[in-house]
Amino acid sequence: MSDSLTRRDFLGAASGLAAGAVLGPAITAKAAPAVHVRPAARNAAVASANGLRAVQKVGELLQQGVDTLDAAIEGVKIQELDPDDTSVGYGGLPNEHGVVQLDASCMHGPSRRAGAVGALEGIKTPSVVAKYVLLYTDHIMLVGEGAKRFALSYGFKEEDLLTDRARERWLHWRANRGPDDDWIDVPREEQMVVEERHGTINCNVVNANGDISSVTTTSGLAWKIPGRVGDSPLIGAGQYTDNDVGAAGSTGRGEANIKVCGAFLTVEFMRRGMSPTDAALETLRRVVATTEPRLKDEQGRPRFDLNFYAVNKRGEFGGAAIWSHRESDDPVERTIRQYAAFNGETAQLYDSAYLYERYPESGQ
């Protein structure tokens, strides 16, 4: 991380002291519950399943002593720059107007700082812009035009993020939107089926010293209402790090996660002693409990999916989803209930824990 961290941390500490002097002793902060985890003895990283290359990269960088946030962002950048990943960065599926709007956020455990961008257009790597917000501003989140101008001021290049593949899928979606619009429907037998997908990459990293960081980046919900911001850029929802405990993050239906502050909640469950997997499952139970009836099936189960990934200070990691893993010929579908992790030695995919067995007739 840059020298500016040191400077800002100093300034932050100084202004905190000044506030304390004015307010006097009447306000006392309640200490967070004690944490019963030893620092990591190994490097580790956990990510959504599309992050297999990311966690491999993170593993290599941690071996070289690279900072956990820098390593996490170098990892997720692989997906942001990959035109074949239609859920993240360049090549991401656009909003209903055909414009790609990207969200990202990150946290750096050792400095206890955060940065985020929402509805950012024209910049391929929103995770890096989020890191610049963390590094160079006194703010946490920039959105829309302001976020773009901020990025351009640092030399980020403005580019058209809509690849031919994503444009074709958007055009097909628009054509088939409904019988009463002005677009002629495209028959399904022409193999122009359009699917709605959430897609995102989250990556949570701990090094052998027990320092932790997290990042989440996404193009959000395909065909979203312009300006819609999901969970990914929201600190505490899309990702969260507490350097004393661990980090967690999410992919899937952002609206369901935002209501429970799921990444924060998962870290809080780990603080109380739960394993990363159990913490992720407990958060998902909270999600189910807060789901509106219109989004549940007749057995009270959500009609959407949501995944959490978590790592603790010891380097233990896990992942959980609402629905179980399903075999499929579709590579995206196949990995959607898995997660990627670097376990200190190798990077590989693991099956996520889950709340519900996927039933065959489910459209999930």
CB nearer to ligand GLY: give 94 or 315: 94
Q: How far is CA 137 from CA 140, 164, 275, in A?
A: 8, 36, 35
Residues forming a β-bridge with 143: 118
Is residue 175 helix, strand or coil? helix
Which stretch of DSSP H or E encloses residue 321? strand 317-323
- Smallest gap from Cβ 228 to ligand GLY, in A, equals 8
- Smallest gap from Cβ 232 to ligand GLY, in A, equals 5
Calpha distance 363→72 (Å, rounded): 33
- Smallest gap from Cβ 93 to ligand GLY, in A, equals 11
Q: How far is CA 318 from CA 38, 300, 352, 354, in A?
A: 17, 26, 7, 11
Any idea which residue has 């969200």 for tokens? 103
Catalytic residue among 200, 251, 277, 291: 200
Calpha distance 58→46 (Å, rounded): 10
Cβ(140)–Cβ(235) below 8 Å: yes
Q: Name the DSSP letter for residue 296.
A: B
CB nearer to ligand GLY: give 40 or 229: 229
CB nearer to ligand GLY: give 200 or 277: 200
- Smallest gap from Cβ 210 to ligand GLY, in A, equals 28
Calpha distance 124→172 (Å, rounded): 24
Is residue 235 helix, strand or coil? strand
CB nearer to ligand GLY: give 40 or 117: 117
- Smallest gap from Cβ 312 to ligand GLY, in A, equals 22
CB nearer to ligand GLY: give 75 or 220: 220
Q: Give first-to-last CA distance, the chain, whole Å.
A: 41
Determine whether 200 is an active site residue. yes
The amino acid occupying position 117 is V
Q: What is the dihedral of CA 225, 227, 230, 236, to 10 degrees?
A: -160
- Smallest gap from Cβ 195 to ligand GLY, in A, equals 15
Strand order in the sheet with 113-120: 141-143, 113-120, 102-108, 212-218, 200-206, 44-48, 338-342, 347-351
The contact set with ligand GLY (CB under 6 A) reads 198, 200, 218, 220-221, 230-232, 251-254
CB nearer to ligand GLY: give 251 or 312: 251
Catalytic residues: 200
